[in-house]
């Protein structure tokens, strides 16, 4: 927090609460907020019109406001801001708040509330959003006094972005926003910097020096901490091969020879086998999630563990670490100077990566989604950002697209929110207008927030949408095929609309392809079109995601499919 927060403390004249909200957002450097107006939050919307700094983005559903704010926070590194009215407006934010909480994304959610005297009376559009969201926020505030608004907002933004980031809720009763008061003096929050544990760093260096088959396992904490420079420097000077979680992709460029790919349920064979054989596992900004580890007691069974994380609660939560250190990830990585004797191991891992590289020469003339996505990411270049929905296409993006920075891959990892892709594309474009932003969606996910095509059109956002359509809930169908004796239940989406015509009805350019000979031209058209465009891609509904680790299995027990 800078001294810019001070003026509200020194100006003791009376100010309307809603105006204080706008001034607080301006002091925090907010430029965009995503929302939808309604009765209880109307005083704030009234005050917004007087701000030249704040640009409000009118979404068509409050869930999209929270998801767009989530993506904005991931790309910018600053808290994304979403705003909604009381009752259903507030509850519609809940999925997006939970999404940010599980992926540790900085966010401030502002909800209107019924007037203070009516709270607890079951008034029109009253709901206890404070209570509803308690398990999925870092902190919550109900503003009880107009004079406290500057302090509450300063604390909320500080909490959202400090330590392990996450969402913070501010519930604002309507009368508090209407009344005027002199702002109450307060001291701006300050960031506390804990000293690094030098003894543990020395012990970590000793373990690294002794290792002969070490693996660097990193996750979403790298993107959160903006620690990719430190991670890459450590990987280069140590010579240790690396693997990533779904959220960690891009921390090390995916085409680095010593990067073995994503690990886990849909990870690469090279990554999963290397983890199984390693003698030292250096975990950085990851939490031993079940989708990454498979059967936990068989994960890295031969390895000692060093665990670095911003959140001390993660260390030892699922896997005991010989050395665990909580703190600044970049500083800890920079302090590691050991160089293990692991050249033969690194060469072996690189050879396995080449041996088990994916194939793209699928039979037939239909479109093979992994091949399309690989080519698209190559053509889009290093400055592109991919936002992804949830399902088979999500795994194909993770497996086959190339990423040179973690902010280039935005996906709902912890919550698995269908409908994330288009709102996330909106947030990403507003956070980084110079980037080429590509949303990859599936026919199931796309329909969850299809109304946001109106937002794309309204703000003339040049979002490139690739809609992969197998007329199925593909991932559910794949599991029913493999693990439920092909008892296909409620996965048929053959009554989908003509998605190109849907886009046209929103005023967005669109076209459909279904033959592999059309892929190259489609990619060129997507990337050359200056405005928003949707490419509807029909694929074989029988295509599955491979490899796949079955439930309750070790990561090396991978199911694969040959042609």
* DSSP line for 435-467: S-EEEEEEHHHHTTSGGGHHHHHHTT---EEEE
Query: Tens of pLDDT along 352-391?
Result: 999 999 989 888 999 999 999 999 999 999 999 999 999 9
Query: How far does CA 120 lie from the centroid of its chain?
Result: 35
- CA proximity to 107, closest of 142, 140, 85: 140
* pLDDT value, residue 420: 98
What torsion, rounded to 10 degrees, do the Cα atoms 475, 479, 485, 490 define?
-40
408 and 504, same domain (yes or no):
yes
Which one of 322, 355, 388 terminates a domain?
355
Contact yes or no for 499/469 (Cβ under 8 A): yes
473: phi then psi, degrees, rounded to nearest 5: -80, 90
Structure-token match 């070790």, residue found: 554
Q: The domain spanning residue 341 has which CATH number?
A: 3.40.50.1220
Give the whole-angstrom CA distance, residue 563 versus residue 317. 41
Active site residue 475: yes
343 and 314, same domain (yes or no):
yes
Query: Tens of pLDDT along 69-126?
Result: 999 999 999 999 999 999 999 999 999 999 999 999 999 999 999 999 999 999 999 9
94 and 177, same domain (yes or no):
yes
Give the whole-angstrom CA distance, residue 264 versus residue 244. 9
Let me know if residue 186 belongs to a domain: no
Domain extent, residue 86, equals 3-181
Let me know if residue 298 belongs to a domain: yes
* pLDDT value, residue 11: 47
Active site residue 125: yes
Catalytic option among 125, 348, 451, 557? 125
Give this prediction's pTM: 0.95
114 and 166, same domain (yes or no):
yes
Q: The domain spanning residue 38 has which CATH number?
A: 3.40.50.970
Give the whole-angstrom CA distance, residue 26 versus residue 22. 6
317 and 435, same domain (yes or no):
no
Catalytic option among 11, 53, 124, 559? 124
The beta strands (E) that lie in 337-403 are given as 385-388
Query: Tens of pLDDT along 426-465?
Result: 999 999 999 999 999 999 999 999 999 999 999 999 999 9
Let me know if residue 561 belongs to a domain: no
Catalytic option among 288, 475, 478, 558? 475
Beta bridge partners, 170, equal 110, 141
Active site residue 53: no
Which one of 153, 181, 209 terminates a domain?
181
Give 409's DSSP letter: E
Let me know if residue 191 belongs to a domain: no
Question: How many domains are contained in the chain?
Answer: 3
207 and 334, same domain (yes or no):
yes
- CA proximity to 70, closest of 243, 218, 191, 247: 247
Catalytic option among 62, 155, 228, 314? 62
312 and 350, same domain (yes or no):
yes
211 and 315, same domain (yes or no):
yes
The beta strands (E) that lie in 59-184 are given as 80-84, 107-113, 139-142, 167-173, 180-181
83 and 175, same domain (yes or no):
yes
Catalytic option among 28, 34, 130, 174? 174
């Amino acid at each position: 927090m800078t001294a810019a927060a001070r003026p509200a403390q020194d100006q003791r004249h009376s100010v309307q609460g809603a105006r204080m909200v706008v001034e607080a957002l301006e002091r925090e450097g907010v430029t965009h907020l995503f929302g939808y107006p309604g009765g209880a939050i109307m005083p704030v919307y009234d005050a917004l019109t007087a701000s030249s700094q704040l640009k409000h983005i009118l979404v068509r559903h409050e869930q999209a406001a929270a998801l767009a704010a989530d993506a904005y926070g991931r790309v910018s590194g600053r808290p994304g801001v979403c705003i909604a009215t009381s009752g259903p407006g507030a509850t519609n934010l809940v999925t997006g708040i939970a999404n940010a909480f599980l992926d540790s994304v900085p966010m401030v959610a502002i909800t209107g509330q019924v007037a203070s005297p009516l709270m607890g009376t079951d008034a029109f559009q009253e709901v206890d959003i404070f209570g509803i969201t308690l398990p999925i926020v870092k902190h919550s505030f109900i503003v009880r006094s107009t004079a406290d608004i500057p302090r509450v907002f300063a604390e909320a933004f500080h909490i959202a972005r400090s330590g392990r980031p996450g969402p913070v809720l501010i519930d604002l009763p309507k009368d508090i926003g209407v009344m005027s008061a002199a702002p109450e003096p307060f001291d701006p929050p300050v960031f506390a910097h804990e000293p690094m544990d030098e003894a543990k760093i020395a012990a970590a260096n000793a373990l690294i020096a002794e290792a002969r088959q070490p693996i660097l396992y990193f996750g979403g904490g790298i993107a959160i901490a903006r620690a990719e420079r430190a991670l890459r420097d450590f990987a280069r000077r140590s010579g240790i091969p690396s693997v990533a979680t779904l959220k960690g992709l891009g921390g090390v460029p995916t085409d680095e020879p010593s990067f073995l790919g994503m690990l886990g349920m849909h990870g690469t064979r090279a990554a999963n086998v290397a983890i199984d054989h390693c003698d030292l596992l250096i975990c950085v900004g990851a939490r031993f999630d079940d989708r990454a580890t498979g059967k936990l007691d068989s994960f890295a069974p031969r390895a000692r563990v060093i665990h670095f994380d911003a959140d001390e609660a993660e260390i030892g939560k699922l896997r005991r670490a010989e050395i665990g250190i909580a703190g600044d990830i970049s500083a800890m990585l920079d302090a590691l100077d050991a160089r293990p004797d692991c050249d033969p191991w690194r060469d072996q891992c690189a050879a396995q990566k080449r041996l088990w590289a994916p194939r793209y020469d699928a039979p037939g003339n239909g479109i093979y989604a992994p091949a399309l996505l690989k080519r698209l990411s190559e053509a889009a270049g290093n400055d592109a950002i991919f936002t992804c929905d949830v399902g088979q296409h999500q795994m194909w993006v993770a497996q086959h697209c190339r990423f040179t920075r973690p902010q280039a891959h935005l996906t709902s990892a912890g919550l698995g929110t269908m409908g994330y892709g288009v709102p996330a594309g909106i947030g990403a474009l507003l956070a980084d207008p110079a980037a080429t932003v590509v949303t990859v969606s599936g026919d199931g996910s796309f329909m969850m927030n299809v109304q946001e095509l109106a937002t794309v059109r309204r703000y003339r956002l040049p979002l490139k949408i690739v809609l992969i359509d197998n007329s199925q809930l593909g991932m559910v169908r794949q599991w029913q095929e493999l693990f439920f004796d092909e008892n296909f239940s409620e996965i048929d989406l053959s009554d989908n609309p003509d998605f190109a015509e849907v886009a046209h009805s929103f005023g967005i350019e669109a076209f459909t392809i279904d033959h592999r000979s059309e892929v190259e031209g489609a990619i060129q058209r997507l990337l050359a079109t200056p405005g928003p465009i949707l490419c509807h891609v029909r694929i074989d509904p029988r295509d599955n995601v491979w490899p796949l680790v079955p439930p309750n299995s070790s990561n090396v027990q991978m199911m694969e499919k040959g042609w």
